Chain A
Amino acid sequence: MPDAGTKKPVTLLIAAMGGEGGGVLMNWIVNAAIAKGFPVQATSVPGVAQRTGATTYYIELLPEASPAGAPRPVFSLNPVPGEVDLMIATELAEAARALSSGYITSDRTTLIASTHRVFLTLEKMDMGDGRLDGKKMLASLKKNAREAILFDAMNASREAGAVINSVMLGAIAATNLLGISEDDFSDGIKAEGKAVAANLAGFEAGLRLAKSGAEPVLEEAAKRADRAVPLAGLESQAQAAFPAEAHAVLGHALRRLADYQDIGYARRYLDRLAPFRTSDPELCREVARHLAVRMTFEDIIRVAQAKTRAERYARILGETGAGPADPVKVTEYFKPGFGEVCDMLPPGLAKKVLAWAERTGRLGRTYWGMEIKTSTVSGFFRVWLLAKLRWWRPRSYRWAAEQTLIDEWLDLVDRAQGIGPDFALEVAELARLIKGYGATHQRGSRNYRRIVETLVRPALEAGSASGGDSARVAEAREAALADSEGDRLAAVLRAGNDPVAHAAE
Chain B
Amino acid sequence: MERSFAKEIELLKLGDGDVFRGEGILAVTKALLQSGVSYVGGYQGAPVSHLIDVLVQAKELMADLGVHVQANTNEASAAAMLGASIMYPARGAVTWKSIVGTNVAADALSNLASPGVTGGAMVIAGEDYGEGASVIQERTHAFAMKCSMWMLDPRPNLPSIVNMVEKGFQLSEASNTPVILELRIRACHVFGEFDAKDNQAPRMGLNSKSDSAGFDFDRLAHPPVTFMQEKKKVEDRLPAAEKFILDNDLNEHFEGRRGDVGIILQGGLYNTVVKRLAALGLADDFGNTDIPLLVLNVTHPLVPGQIRDFCAGKKSVLVVEEGNPEYIEQQINTILRKADIQTRIAGKDVLPMAGEYTAEAVLKGLVDFFGDSEPHGVNLELLRDRAAKLENAARTGRDGAEVAVPGRPPGFCTGCPERPVFSAIKLLKEEIGDVHISTDIGCHSFAIFEPFSMGNSILGYGMSLASTAGVVPLQKKRTISVMGDGGFWHNGLQTGVLSSLFNDTDSVLVIMQNGYSSATGQQWIPSSAGSPSHSEQTSEIEKTLRSVGVKWLRTVRTYSVDVMVDTLREAMTTKEGGLKVIIADGECMLARQRRLKAENAKLLEAGRRVETPRYGVDDEICTGDHSCMRLSGCPSLTIKPSPDPLRTDPVATVIPSCVGCGLCGEVAHAAVLCPSFYRAEKVQNASALERLVHNVRRTVIRWMAGSGETHA
- A438 vs B402: C-alpha distance when bound (angstroms): 39
Which residue of chain A has the shortest Cβ distance to B411 in the bound complex? A52
Chain B contacts of A137 at CB under 8 A? 402-403, 405
Contact yes or no, B698 A124, CB < 8 A: no
Contact of A96 among B405, B590, B630 (CB under 8 A): B405
B428 within 8 A of A: no
Chain A contacts of B393 at CB under 8 A? 82-83, 105, 107-108
Q: Count of B residues near A, CB < 8 Å?
A: 135
Which residue of chain A has the shortest Cβ distance to B46 in the bound complex? A47
Identify which of A71, A124, A140 gathers the most chain B CB atoms within 10 Å of its CB. Answer: A124
Contact yes or no, B641 A220, CB < 8 A: yes
Instruction: Return 22 A-B CB contacts under 8 Å, by A number.
Output: A2-B288, A44-B186, A48-B410, A51-B413, A52-B412, A62-B285, A71-B287, A77-B271, A82-B397, A102-B397, A124-B629, A225-B711, A328-B683, A329-B680, A332-B678, A375-B697, A380-B697, A384-B705, A432-B649, A439-B627, A439-B672, A484-B627
- A126 vs B652: C-alpha distance when bound (angstroms): 12
- A115 vs B262: C-alpha distance when bound (angstroms): 48
Chain B contacts of A176 at CB under 8 A? none
Chain B contacts of A46 at CB under 8 A? 46, 132, 189
B344 within 8 A of A: no
Segment touching B, from A196-204, A248-256, A464-472: A248-256
Contact yes or no, A80 B674, CB < 8 A: no
Contact yes or no, A81 B394, CB < 8 A: yes
Chain A contacts of B404 at CB under 8 A? 100
B120 within 8 A of A: no
Chain A contacts of B403 at CB under 8 A? 93, 96, 132-133, 136-137, 140
SS class, residues of chain A in contact with chain B:
loop
List 18 additional contacts besides A221-B641, A329-B681; criterion CB under 8 Å: A1-B284, A5-B286, A54-B407, A81-B394, A97-B408, A120-B406, A121-B449, A122-B406, A122-B450, A128-B649, A226-B645, A307-B675, A308-B705, A316-B680, A322-B682, A322-B684, A436-B625, A439-B672
Contact of A380 among B278, B630, B701 (CB under 8 A): B701
Contact yes or no, B684 A335, CB < 8 A: no
- A190 vs B412: C-alpha distance when bound (angstroms): 35
Contact yes or no, A118 B638, CB < 8 A: yes
Interface bracket on A: 35 or more
- A126 vs B665: C-alpha distance when bound (angstroms): 21
Chain A contacts of B190 at CB under 8 A? 41-43, 77
Which residue of chain A has the shortest Cβ distance to B188 in the bound complex? A43
- A44 vs B678: C-alpha distance when bound (angstroms): 39
A53 within 8 A of B: yes
- A249 vs B294: C-alpha distance when bound (angstroms): 75
Contact of B665 among A94, A103, A333, A376 (CB under 8 A): A333
- A341 vs B391: C-alpha distance when bound (angstroms): 66
- A323 vs B698: C-alpha distance when bound (angstroms): 15
Identify which of B401, B629, B633, B679 gathers the most chain A CB atoms within 10 Å of its CB. Answer: B401
Contact yes or no, A9 B285, CB < 8 A: yes
Task: Knowing A102-B394, A335-B668, say if A43 contacts B706 (CB, 8 Å).
Answer: no
B377 within 8 A of A: no
B469 within 8 A of A: no
The contact string, 1 if C-beta is below 8 Å from chain A, for chain B 675-712, is 10111111110100011001001101110111111111
Chain A contacts of B681 at CB under 8 A? 320, 328-331
Which residue of chain A has the shortest Cβ distance to B133 in the bound complex? A47
Contact of A52 among B191, B410, B669, B706 (CB under 8 A): B410
How far, in Å, is A455 (CB) from chain B's closest CB?
A: 22
How far, in Å, is B361 (CB) from chain A's closest CB?
A: 11
Chain A contacts of B694 at CB under 8 A? 327, 375
Identify which of A78, A133, A249, A325 gathers the most chain B CB atoms within 10 Å of its CB. Answer: A78
- A201 vs B189: C-alpha distance when bound (angstroms): 30
B618 within 8 A of A: yes
A34 within 8 A of B: yes
Residues of B in contact with A (beta carbons under 8 Å apart): 21, 46-47, 131-134, 156-157, 185-187, 189-192, 270-272, 274-275, 278-279, 283-290, 358-360, 390-398, 400-414, 443, 449-451, 518-522, 562, 590, 612, 614, 616, 618-621, 623-627, 629-630, 633, 635, 637-650, 654, 656, 665, 668-669, 671-675, 677-684, 686, 690-691, 694, 697-698, 700-702, 704-712
Contact yes or no, A4 B638, CB < 8 A: no
Chain A contacts of B185 at CB under 8 A? 45, 47
How far, in Å, is B100 (CB) from chain A's closest CB?
A: 13
- A142 vs B704: C-alpha distance when bound (angstroms): 53
Contact yes or no, A105 B701, CB < 8 A: no
Which residue of chain B has the shortest Cβ distance to A44 in the bound complex? B189
Task: Knowing A319-B616, A320-B680, A436-B627, say if A73 contacts B643 (CB, 8 Å).
Answer: no
Task: Knowing A45-B186, A320-B682, A440-B625, say if A82 contacts B697 (CB, 8 Å).
Answer: no
Contact yes or no, A125 B284, CB < 8 A: no
Chain B contacts of A71 at CB under 8 A? 286-287
Chain B contacts of A80 at CB under 8 A? 275, 358-360, 394
Contact of A47 among B134, B285, B649, B665 (CB under 8 A): B134
How far, in Å, is A190 (CB) from chain B's closest CB?
A: 18
Contact yes or no, B675 A221, CB < 8 A: no
Contact of A327 among B186, B683, B711 (CB under 8 A): B683
Which residue of chain A has the shortest Cβ distance to B683 in the bound complex? A327
Contact yes or no, A330 B679, CB < 8 A: yes
A208 within 8 A of B: no
Contact yes or no, A51 B704, CB < 8 A: no
- A436 vs B625: C-alpha distance when bound (angstroms): 6
Contact of A334 among B675, B702, B712 (CB under 8 A): B675
Residues of A in contact with B (beta carbons under 8 Å apart): 1-2, 4-5, 8-9, 17-18, 26, 30, 34, 40-54, 62, 71-78, 80-83, 93-94, 96-97, 99-109, 118-129, 131-133, 136-137, 139-140, 143-144, 219-229, 249, 252-253, 255-256, 289, 292-293, 298, 302-303, 306-313, 316, 319-323, 325-335, 337, 367, 369, 371, 374-377, 380-381, 384, 432, 435-440, 444, 484
Contact yes or no, B519 A48, CB < 8 A: yes
How far, in Å, is A315 (CB) from chain B's closest CB?
A: 8
- A123 vs B626: C-alpha distance when bound (angstroms): 10
Chain A contacts of B654 at CB under 8 A? 319
Which residue of chain B has the shortest Cβ distance to A109 in the bound complex? B397
Contact yes or no, A81 B397, CB < 8 A: yes
Closest 5 CB pairs of A and B: A221-B641, A45-B132, A50-B410, A53-B410, A310-B708
- A53 vs B445: C-alpha distance when bound (angstroms): 14
Contact yes or no, B641 A320, CB < 8 A: no
How far, in Å, is A218 (CB) from chain B's closest CB?
A: 10
Contact yes or no, B286 A74, CB < 8 A: yes
Chain B contacts of A77 at CB under 8 A? 156, 186-187, 190, 271-272
Chain B contacts of A107 at CB under 8 A? 393
Which residue of chain A has the shortest Cβ distance to B412 in the bound complex? A52
Chain A contacts of B562 at CB under 8 A? 369
Contact yes or no, B674 A437, CB < 8 A: yes
Task: Knowing A48-B46, A143-B400, A228-B709, say if A333 contacts B669 (CB, 8 Å).
Answer: yes
Contact yes or no, B706 A310, CB < 8 A: yes
Chain B contacts of A312 at CB under 8 A? 618, 708
Chain A contacts of B640 at CB under 8 A? 221
- A310 vs B618: C-alpha distance when bound (angstroms): 14
Which residue of chain B has the shortest Cβ distance to A310 in the bound complex? B708
Contact yes or no, A327 B590, CB < 8 A: no
Chain B contacts of A255 at CB under 8 A? 711
How far, in Å, is B209 (CB) from chain A's closest CB?
A: 37
How far, in Å, is B589 (CB) from chain A's closest CB?
A: 9
Contact yes or no, B405 A132, CB < 8 A: yes
Task: Knowing A82-B393, A143-B400, A228-B710, say if A97 contacts B405 (CB, 8 Å).
Answer: yes
- A188 vs B634: C-alpha distance when bound (angstroms): 35
- A121 vs B710: C-alpha distance when bound (angstroms): 34
How far, in Å, is B399 (CB) from chain A's closest CB?
A: 9
- A101 vs B637: C-alpha distance when bound (angstroms): 28
Contact yes or no, B271 A75, CB < 8 A: yes
Task: Knowing A41-B192, A73-B285, A310-B706, say if A1 contacts B290 (CB, 8 Å).
Answer: yes
